[in-house]
């Protein structure tokens, strides 16, 4: 192991500008970038400026948050983005066809990278400041990034003093790094979403089914956060999730989350990426009550399924009479990606006392469209299968589907549809010979 002095010397030798660091990228290579907040803006800006000098380079990532100039259909032969999951900046390109998508389960991404099924030559990632032993923390997006760092020919870190130094399996030594750049701009922040009466009603139904001592996984969005806000009277909740956000932080600060009863890493909340406020990032810094781990640990259904009373909450776009959930497209048109929804649904089904919740408002577009439908739209991407779905919740109630027949499922789902659509759905179910 290098000494502290040697680590500092190595850091100084490797410190360079973003403009010079991107010259390490060679034609035909694939750059892997972490999820969301962990994306390194100065490196991606420098890559954008240099993109016309390169040929056949790909940048691959889940959920980008910032818009970079390399998102450009005119220069895709030079630098092209490939999505593991579409976000706001990349969705238009995905829907127009010039940003391709790699289907995946979030939990399997590290193995796909290690096995070479997902290419990885270079890693650009944001990191904390180096500690006295020469280690950086990839705290904001550990996810698939740690596997990519193991696999890559070249690793470039963008060190930002605002990035928390977290604990867990999220550390990279300076000896593993080819170049370091520095940047101190504010991190991307996301506040709690606006919660209306529909989200509040759904949240109340779910919260009523989460007991004291449960371990929770919360997805992103108004409905999952509405659930969180109605758990403030619970005791000894645990957290094992993919995303740590301000909703969970509010439960920690209220004393609701203790992790005391968890049978996997008791006493510690576990996540693979962070998305929230500066307050959240500050709380993460050197906090022994939190560990950030790669996604093949946090989302593995066999690992998470071993946690007793695992309760998972995720949203969907549309669900059909037999329980197929489309959570990532509008018909054939891509919108996001599979992410970790299927991972956690399967995990909760394996858990002793566990429950998985798929949550959705009953309608869309001002109550003109039912989200409970006879069949999914043509080309819809099935995110959670009929064999995995368990509890489905709208503002009109709860449908428990696992173990039920197609007829029982259909009746239960129509019962929680918006009242204006129930008669129409019932007629269609008869035409389909389900009811």
Condensed to tens digits (0 to 9), the pLDDT of residues 221-234 reads: 788 888 888 999 99
- Contact status, residue 308 vs residue 65, Cβ threshold 8 Å: no
Q: What is the pLDDT of residue 142?
A: 98
For residue 381, what are the CA distances in angstroms to 28, 327, 328, 335, 377? Answer: 30, 7, 6, 10, 9
Active site residue 242: yes
| pLDDT greater than 60 at residue 307 | yes
- Any idea how long the chain is? 435
Q: What is the pLDDT of residue 2?
A: 46
Torsion (CA) 413, 414, 415, 419 in degrees, nearest 10:
140
Q: What is the pLDDT of residue 366?
A: 93
Q: What is the pLDDT of residue 191?
A: 80
CA distance linking residue 237 with residue 214, whole number of Å: 5
* Residue 64 pLDDT class (50, 70, 90 cuts): very high
CA distance linking residue 434 with residue 321, whole number of Å: 9
CA distance linking residue 378 with residue 333, whole number of Å: 10
* Residue 192 pLDDT class (50, 70, 90 cuts): confident
Average pLDDT, stretch 298-317? 97
Q: What is the pLDDT of residue 4?
A: 59
* Residue 1 pLDDT class (50, 70, 90 cuts): very low
- Contact status, residue 361 vs residue 353, Cβ threshold 8 Å: no
Q: Residues 55-78, buried b or exposed e (16+ Cβ, 10 A)? A: eebbbbbbbbbbebebbbeeebeb
> What's the pLDDT tens digit per position in 235-264?
999 999 999 999 999 999 999 999 999 999
Q: What is the pLDDT of residue 291?
A: 98
**DSSP element (H, E) containing 184:** none
Closest CA to 112 of 426, 307, 326, 338: 338
* Residue 316 pLDDT class (50, 70, 90 cuts): very high
- Contact status, residue 73 vs residue 96, Cβ threshold 8 Å: yes
> What's the pLDDT tens digit per position in 202-220?
999 999 999 999 999 997 7
- Which three-class secondary structure state does DSSP give residue 369? strand
Of 242, 291, 328, 395, which is the active-site residue? Answer: 242
Q: What is the pLDDT of residue 32?
A: 98
> What's the pLDDT tens digit per position in 337-346?
999 999 999 9
| pLDDT greater than 80 at residue 5 | no
Q: What is the pLDDT of residue 193?
A: 78
Q: What is the pLDDT of residue 223?
A: 85
Q: What is the pLDDT of residue 184?
A: 97
Q: Which residues contact 325 (CB under 8 A, 6 or more apart)?
A: 316, 318, 319, 341, 358, 382, 383, 384, 389
Q: CB count, 10 Å around CB of 167?
A: 19
Q: What is the pLDDT of residue 67?
A: 96
> What's the pLDDT tens digit per position in 378-433?
999 999 999 999 999 999 999 999 999 999 999 999 999 999 999 999 999 999 99
Closest CA to 328 of 340, 316, 319, 344: 316
Name the percent of the chain lying above pLDDT 90. 95
């Amino acid at each position: 192991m290098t000494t502290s002095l040697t680590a500092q010397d190595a850091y100084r030798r490797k410190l360079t500008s973003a403009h010079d660091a991107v010259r390490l990228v060679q034609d035909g290579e694939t750059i892997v970038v972490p999820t969301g907040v962990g994306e390194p803006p100065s490196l991606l800006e420098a890559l954008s400026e240099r993109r016309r000098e390169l040929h056949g380079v790909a940048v691959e990532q889940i959920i980008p948050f910032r818009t970079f100039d390399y998102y450009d259909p005119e220069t895709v032969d030079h630098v092209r983005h490939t999505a593991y999951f579409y976000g706001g900046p990349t969705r238009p390109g995905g829907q127009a066809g010039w940003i391709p998508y790699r289907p995946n389960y979030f939990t399997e991404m590290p193995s796909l990278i290690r096995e070479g099924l997902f290419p990885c030559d270079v890693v650009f990632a944001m990191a904390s400041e180096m500690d006295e032993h020469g280690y950086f923390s990839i705290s904001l997006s550990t996810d698939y990034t740690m596997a990519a760092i193991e696999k890559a020919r070249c690793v470039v870190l963008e060190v930002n003093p605002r990035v928390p130094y977290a604990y867990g399996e999220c550390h990279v030594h300076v000896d593993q790094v080819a170049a370091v750049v520095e940047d101190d701009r504010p991190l991307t922040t996301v506040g709690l979403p606006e919660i209306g009466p529909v989200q509040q009603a759904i949240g109340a139904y779910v919260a009523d089914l989460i007991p004291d001592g449960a371990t929770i996984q919360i997805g992103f969005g108004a409905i999952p956060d509405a659930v969180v806000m109605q758990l403030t009277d619970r005791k000894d909740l645990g957290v094992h999730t993919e995303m740590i956000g301000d909703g969970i932080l509010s439960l920690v600060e209220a004393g609701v989350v203790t992790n005391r009863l968890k049978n996997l890493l008791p006493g510690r909340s576990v996540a693979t990426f962070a998305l929230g406020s500066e307050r959240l990032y500050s709380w993460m810094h050197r906090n022994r009550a939190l560990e950030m781990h790669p996604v093949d640990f946090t989302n593995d259904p066999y690992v998470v399924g071993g946690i007793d009373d695992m309760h998972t909450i995720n949203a969907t776009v549309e669900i059909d009479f037999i329980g197929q959930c489309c959570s990532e497209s509008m018909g054939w048109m891509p919108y996001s990606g599979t992410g970790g929804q299927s991972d956690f649904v399967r995990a909760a089904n394996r858990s002793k006392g566990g429950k998985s919740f798929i949550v959705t408002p009953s309608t869309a577009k001002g109550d003109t469209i039912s989200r409970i439908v006879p069949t999914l739209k043509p080309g819809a991407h099935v995110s959670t299968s009929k064999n995995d779905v368990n509890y489905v919740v709208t503002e009109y109630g709860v449908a428990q589907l696992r173990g039920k027949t197609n007829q029982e499922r259909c009746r239960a789902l129509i019962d929680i549809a918006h009242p204006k659509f129930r008669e129409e759905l019932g007629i269609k179910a008869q035409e389909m010979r389900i009811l």
